[in-house]
């Protein structure tokens, strides 16, 4: 008798498993088609850095605290500014935390891949430009309704 | 344990040997290229398809982190300490800052302690989900591969709101944490954990109650209680063998003494027990997260801590997702430690691999092996 | 949590009573952290006593420290107890010192079988030989590594 009950229970459990799986055929997918659909990051995300040239004193604390040694201090006329090599940066943003003049800031720009290695070196001038606002029509976020969902982008 | 097999050359050469009893055995090299092992190799000796001897051969992702830490400032070491297990980054980071604070004598403000605990528990869920997805794909269950990785995104999003980074947070620093709770975090955390608990029931239905899994996991890879203690196993591996050892209860740190949770144990010590301990821990972590966002006190999140490490010795340890992660730290007054010994949960559970696999069939190896939740990068450091 | 050191004092007392000549130094770092320095010849007896009589059945790890200025290695066994539930927060550091030019000590695998991997790591990273170890081979380093033990203090790497 017992083996039959065991087999019946196994059959029920397997059917439940299949039904659970089949139910999810009709859910939205989690994945995004990246360049067309963008993942929404909030303000405060640790993307690439933004340098305020007027506040920077060129003290070099950012270069000292950088764990990956990706910052070099380069001269620009009479003053000195940090230059980032994003091939090494691990985006820990200790430089932002330790800057005594609040000259560094984190931005939401995270897709900074380049075709050549020397394009990954960001000069102080390039760092000082605020990130370009991307087309906000296709911003998505993973939500509790199951799958990726479109979220309206906030005005800044 | 019987005598280990002779090392085989670095190829997939299979050598046949005749033992004293006359039985012919075959030495197989499993790994190191993720053929059911991850970045490590298991030298398995089989008699027929019964495993008679196992020797783990780690070291393919060894980075010498203990030497790197000795040569770096204690703050600059934080990102590199997270790297061995980026899916469980904040727990490893916690062990480091805890041992530093022990030497420095810095008290962390209570709000900082709660925020640390919050990120630790979120990390525990993320790490267990990653483990579960790999377990699913090891057993050929593709749905169980996709779902946990998708649901992990819920907590990655939460962690990103809190810390600004998705996986490697570098959030815990000596003296406290780096950022305060963002507005609207509590509601979002409650919503997501409640949704996730519903999903865990679906996991039960599709995988953990499924005979396709239970028939492969129950009674496979048994690790007895005495053996687990003697080998120094830790974390879910130890609790799956029926020992209710959990540093969050035994040596309460951060905000754990004020939180209400249970240590989940299973008595059997087989693969199924270890898997269910992971599931129970995810449920408990959801409860802890909801308690934290409800109970979190106001106040400062960080206290000023010196950037140097005074003379002294500390053994700081926390319960990470894969077990106890500890630092034996010796300071000599400079800004670098004299010696930082880094012992992680996976490294300790490496001793359990032969004990779990011996006597099983080769086809049961993925079930038994991955239920230990051995993360090769974390073990190699 | 109380901050008294009664448990630790009692442990030190018991150890000193049983091994009056071999316990060279004891040090209570803080509550639940205890250091005991033992003569290398007798470490096996002390370890067996700790396991059988005092309940320290759970090895947490083994560290080797290179004090090149004092010309010695220190091997530290971090052990804790699972059997005695009140002592689970306690970590005992069992230490022994060996001279740097002849680093050879007895292995404790026969006492705690879990220390096998840690002793192998100390062997390859510091060149300390463990007598009676069942498999004293390289663990993490590649088999064809012929350089010096890399975690010794006199090995320099380009740094900041």
Statement to judge: residues B163 and B32 lie in one domain: no
- CA B75 to chain A, closest CA, distance in angstroms equals 8
The pair of structure tokens assigned to A40 is 């929404």
Q: Kindly list the structural domains of chain C, giving each domain's residue range(s) and its CATH number in brackets, ordered by start.
A: 6-131 (3.30.460.80)
CA pair distance B165, C119, nearest whole angstrom: 37
CA pair distance B255, B239, nearest whole angstrom: 22
Residue C62 class from Cβ within 10 Å (0-12 exposed, 13-18 middle, 19+ buried)? buried
Sequence-distant (≥ 6) Cβ neighbours of residue B23 within 8 angstroms: B47
Q: Is the pLDDT of residue A30 over 80?
A: no
State whether B313 and C35 contact (CB < 8 Å).
Answer: yes
Statement to judge: residues B175 and B38 lie in one domain: no
Pairing of strands A79-85, C33-38: unpaired
Burial B300-319 (b: 16+ CB within 10 A, else e): ebbeebeeebeebbbbbbbb
B211: nearest CB among A13, A90, A91: A13
Please state whether the peptide bond connecting residue A4 to the residue before it is cis, i.e. omega within 30 degrees of 0. Answer: no
Statement to judge: residues B48 and B69 lie in one domain: no
* Domain presence at residue B194: yes
CA pair distance B229, C56, nearest whole angstrom: 10
Identify the DSSP state of B198: H
Q: How many CB atoms lie within 10 A of CB C12?
A: 18
Statement to judge: residues B37 and B125 lie in one domain: no
Q: Chain B 208-237, CB below 8 Å of chain C: which residues?
A: 229-233
Least confident of A94-103, B30-39, B314-323, C41-50: B30-39
Q: Which chains touch B (3 or more CB pairs under 8 A)?
A: A, C
ipTM value, please give it.
0.87
Statement to judge: residues B31 and B124 lie in one domain: no
B134 pLDDT band (50/70/90 cuts)? confident
CA pair distance B133, B285, nearest whole angstrom: 18
Q: Kindly list the structural domains of chain A, giving each domain's residue range(s) and its CATH number in brackets, ordered by start.
A: 42-131 (3.30.70.3270)
Statement to judge: residues B29 and B74 lie in one domain: no
B326: nearest CB among C61, C82, C139: C61
Total number of domains constituting chain B: 2
CA pair distance B42, B98, nearest whole angstrom: 34
Q: How many CB atoms lie within 10 A of CB A152?
A: 8
Digit-by-digit pLDDT tens for chain C (160 residues) are 456 788 888 888 888 888 888 888 888 888 888 888 888 888 888 888 888 888 888 898 899 998 888 888 999 999 988 888 888 888 889 899 899 888 888 888 888 888 888 988 888 888 888 888 888 888 888 878 887 888 888 887 765 4
* Domain presence at residue B1: no
Using one digit for the tens of pLDDT, what is the confidence trace for B340-365?
A: 999 998 899 988 888 888 888 888 88
B210: nearest CB among A14, A91, A97: A14
Q: Does B348 touch chain C (CB under 8 A)?
A: yes
Chain B contact set for A106 (CB, 8 A): 164
B330: nearest CB among C65, C137, C157: C65
* Domain presence at residue B5: no
* Domain presence at residue B317: yes
Least confident of B1-5, B321-325, B367-371, C93-97: B1-5
Statement to judge: residues B183 and B243 lie in one domain: yes
Predicted pLDDT of residue B190: 87
- Residue of C35, C61, C137 for testing the chain B interface, max B β-carbons within 10 Å: C61
State whether B232 and C58 contact (CB < 8 Å).
Answer: yes
Statement to judge: residues B112 and B228 lie in one domain: yes
A134 pLDDT band (50/70/90 cuts)? low
Residue B214: closest CA among chain A residues belongs to which residue?
A: A10
- Is residue B234 within 8 Å of B324, Cβ to Cβ? yes
State whether B212 and A144 contact (CB < 8 Å).
Answer: no
- CA A126 to chain B, closest CA, distance in angstroms equals 22
Using one digit for the tens of pLDDT, what is the confidence trace for B327-346?
A: 999 988 888 899 899 999 88
Residue B379: closest CA among chain C residues belongs to which residue?
A: C140
B129 pLDDT band (50/70/90 cuts)? very high
Q: Is the pLDDT of residue A156 over 60?
A: no
- CA C41 to chain B, closest CA, distance in angstroms equals 23
Mean pLDDT across B304-332: 89
Sequence-distant (≥ 6) Cβ neighbours of residue B76 within 8 angstroms: A65, A66, A67, A94
CA pair distance B287, B290, nearest whole angstrom: 5
Sequence-distant (≥ 6) Cβ neighbours of residue A74 within 8 angstroms: A80, A81, A82, A83, A123, A124
State whether A67 and B207 contact (CB < 8 Å).
Answer: no
The pair of structure tokens assigned to A104 is 């560094």
B210: nearest CB among A13, A42, A142: A13
* Domain presence at residue B9: no
Statement to judge: residues B130 and B37 lie in one domain: no
Backbone angles phi, psi at B155, to 5 degrees: -80, -30
State whether C141 and B324 contact (CB < 8 Å).
Answer: no
Mean pLDDT across B121-144: 88
State whether B343 and C159 contact (CB < 8 Å).
Answer: no
Predicted pLDDT of residue B11: 44
Last residue of a domain, one of B6, B33, B57: B57
Most distant CA atoms of chain B, gap in Å: 72
Sequence-distant (≥ 6) Cβ neighbours of residue B300 within 8 angstroms: B109, B111, B112, B176
* Domain presence at residue B350: yes
B232: nearest CB among C30, C114, C157: C114
Q: Give the number of beta-carbon pairs within 8 Å between B and C.
A: 105
Average of per-residue pLDDT values in chain B: 85
Predicted pLDDT of residue B121: 92
Mean pLDDT across A97-112: 86
- CA C65 to chain B, closest CA, distance in angstroms equals 7
Predicted pLDDT of residue A132: 77
- Residue of B55, B315, B346 for testing the chain C interface, max C β-carbons within 10 Å: B315
Q: By three-state DSSP, how is residue B236 classified?
A: helix
CA pair distance A89, B349, nearest whole angstrom: 33
CA pair distance B188, B182, nearest whole angstrom: 11
- Is residue C61 within 8 Å of B343, Cβ to Cβ? yes
Beta bridge partners of A49: A106
State whether B164 and A46 contact (CB < 8 Å).
Answer: yes
A1 pLDDT band (50/70/90 cuts)? low
Statement to judge: residues B343 and B311 lie in one domain: yes
* Domain presence at residue B6: no
Q: Is the pLDDT of residue A139 over 70?
A: no
Q: Does C142 touch chain B (CB under 8 A)?
A: yes
Q: Give the number of beta-carbon pairs within 8 Å between A and B.
A: 74
- CA B227 to chain A, closest CA, distance in angstroms equals 32
Report percent pLDDT > 70 for chain A: 82
Rg of chain A in Å (alpha carbons)? 25
Domain span at residue B324 reads: 65-380
Mean pLDDT across A19-39: 75
Element (H, E) at B28: strand B24-30
Report CA-CA distances (Å) from B46 to B2, B368, C45, C120: 13, 16, 38, 25
Q: Does C145 touch chain B (CB under 8 A)?
A: no
Q: Is the pLDDT of residue B36 over 80?
A: no
Residue A156 class from Cβ within 10 Å (0-12 exposed, 13-18 middle, 19+ buried)? exposed
Range among A41-45, B7-11, B112-116, B213-217 rated most confident = B112-116
Mean pLDDT across A145-155: 51
Chain B contact set for C80 (CB, 8 A): none
CA pair distance C15, C8, nearest whole angstrom: 11
Q: Is the pLDDT of residue A155 over 50?
A: no
* Domain presence at residue B7: no
Beta bridge partners of B15: B27
State whether B143 and A21 contact (CB < 8 Å).
Answer: yes
Using one digit for the tens of pLDDT, what is the confidence trace for B64-86?
A: 898 888 888 888 889 999 888 88
Q: How many CB atoms lie within 10 A of CB B181?
A: 19
Sequence-distant (≥ 6) Cβ neighbours of residue B302 within 8 angstroms: B108, B109, B112, B173, B175, B176, B177, B178
State whether A67 and B77 contact (CB < 8 Å).
Answer: yes
State whether B380 and C76 contact (CB < 8 Å).
Answer: no
Chain C contact set for B62 (CB, 8 A): 140-141
Predicted pLDDT of residue B124: 92
Predicted pLDDT of residue A136: 56
Predicted pLDDT of residue B85: 87
- For residue B95, which of B371, B84, C32 has the smallest C-alpha distance? B84
CATH number for B317: 1.10.645.10
Q: Does B72 touch chain C (CB under 8 A)?
A: yes
Last residue of a domain, one of B7, B40, B57: B57
CA pair distance B220, B202, nearest whole angstrom: 24
Statement to judge: residues B45 and B132 lie in one domain: no
- For residue B204, which of B279, B270, B271 has the smallest C-alpha distance? B279
Statement to judge: residues B76 and B193 lie in one domain: yes
Last residue of a domain, one of B23, B57, B91: B57
Sequence-distant (≥ 6) Cβ neighbours of residue B159 within 8 angstroms: B119, B122, B123, B126, B165, B166, B169
A67: nearest CB among B76, B150, B206: B76
Predicted pLDDT of residue B12: 46
Q: Is the pLDDT of residue B292 over 80?
A: yes
State whether C117 and B315 contact (CB < 8 Å).
Answer: no
Rg of chain B in Å (alpha carbons)? 21
B17 pLDDT band (50/70/90 cuts)? low
């Amino acid at each position: 008798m017992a083996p039959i009950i065991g087999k019946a229970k196994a059959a029920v459990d397997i059917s439940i498993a299949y039904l659970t799986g089949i139910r999810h055929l009709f859910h939205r997918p989690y994945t995004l088609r990246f360049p067309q659909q963008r993942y929404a990051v909030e303000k405060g995300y640790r993307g690439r850095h933004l340098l305020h040239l007027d506040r920077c004193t060129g003290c070099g604390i950012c270069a000292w605290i950088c764990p990956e040694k990706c910052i070099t201090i380069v001269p620009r006329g009479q003053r000195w500014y940090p230059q980032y090599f994003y091939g090494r940066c691990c985006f820990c943003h200790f430089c932002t935390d330790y800057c005594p003049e609040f000259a560094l800031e984190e931005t939401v720009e995270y897709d900074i891949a380049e075709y050549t290695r020397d394009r990954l070196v960001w000069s102080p001038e390039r760092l000082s430009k605020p990130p370009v606002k991307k087309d906000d029509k296709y911003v998505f976020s993973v939500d509790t309704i199951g799958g990726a969902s479109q979220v309206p982008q906030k005005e800044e | 344990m019987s005598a280990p097999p002779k090392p085989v050359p670095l190829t997939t050469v299979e050598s046949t040997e005749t033992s004293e009893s006359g039985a012919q055995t075959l030495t197989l090299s499993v790994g190191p290229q993720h053929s059911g092992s991850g970045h490590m190799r298991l030298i398995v000796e089989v008699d027929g398809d019964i495993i008679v001897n196992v020797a783990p051969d780690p070291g393919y992702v060894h980075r010498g982190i203990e030497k790197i830490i000795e040569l770096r400032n204690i703050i600059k070491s934080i990102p590199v300490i997270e790297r061995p297990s980026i899916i469980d980054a904040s727990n490893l980071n916690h062990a480091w800052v805890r041992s530093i604070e022990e030497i420095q004598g810095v008290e962390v403000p209570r709000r900082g302690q709660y925020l640390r605990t919050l990120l630790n528990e979120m990390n525990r869920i993320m790490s267990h989900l990653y483990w579960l997805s790999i377990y699913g794909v090891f057993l050929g269950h593709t749905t169980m591969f996709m779902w946990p990785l998708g649901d992990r995104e819920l907590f990655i999003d939460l962690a990103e709101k809190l810390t600004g980074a998705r996986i490697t947070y570098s959030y815990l620093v000596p003296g406290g944490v780096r950022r305060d709770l963002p507005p609207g975090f509590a509601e979002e955390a409650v919503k997501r954990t409640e949704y996730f608990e519903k999903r865990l029931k679906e996991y039960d239905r599709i995988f953990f109650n499924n005979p396709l899994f239970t028939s492969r996991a129950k009674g496979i890879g048994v690790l007895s209680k005495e053996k687990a203690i003697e080998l120094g196993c830790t974390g879910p591996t130890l609790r799956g063998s029926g020992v209710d050892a959990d540093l969050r209860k035994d040596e309460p740190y951060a905000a754990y003494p004020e939180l209400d949770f249970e240590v989940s144990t299973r008595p059997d010590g087989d693969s199924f027990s270890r898997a269910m301990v992971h599931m129970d821990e995810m449920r408990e972590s959801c409860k802890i997260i909801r308690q934290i966002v409800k109970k979190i006190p106001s106040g400062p999140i960080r206290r000023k801590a010196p950037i140097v490490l005074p003379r002294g010795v500390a053994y700081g340890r926390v319960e990470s997702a894969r077990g106890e992660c500890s630092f034996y730290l010796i300071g000599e007054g400079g800004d670098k430690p004299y010696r930082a010994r880094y012992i992680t949960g996976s490294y300790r559970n490496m001793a359990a691999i032969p004990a779990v696999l011996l006597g099983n069939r080769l086809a049961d190896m993925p079930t038994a092996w991955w239920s230990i939740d051995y993360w090769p990068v974390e073990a190699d450091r | 949590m109380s901050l008294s050191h009664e448990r630790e004092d009692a442990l030190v007392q018991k150890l000193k009573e049983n091994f009056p000549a071999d316990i060279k130094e004891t040090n209570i770092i803080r509550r639940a952290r205890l250091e005991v320095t033992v003569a290398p010849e007798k470490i096996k007896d002390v370890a067996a006593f700790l396991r059988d009589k005092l309940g320290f059945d759970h090895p947490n790890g083994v560290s080797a420290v290179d004090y090149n200025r004092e010309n010695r290695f220190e091997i530290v066994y971090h052990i804790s107890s699972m059997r005695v539930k009140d002592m689970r927060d306690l970590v005992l550091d069992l230490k022994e010192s060996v001279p740097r030019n002849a680093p050879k000590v007895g292995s404790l695998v026969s006492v705690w079988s879990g220390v096998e991997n840690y002793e192998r790591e100390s062997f390859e990273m510091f060149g300390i030989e463990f007598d009676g170890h069942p498999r004293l081979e390289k663990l993490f380093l590649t088999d064809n590594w012929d350089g010096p033990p890399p975690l010794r203090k006199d090995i320099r790497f380009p740094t900041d």
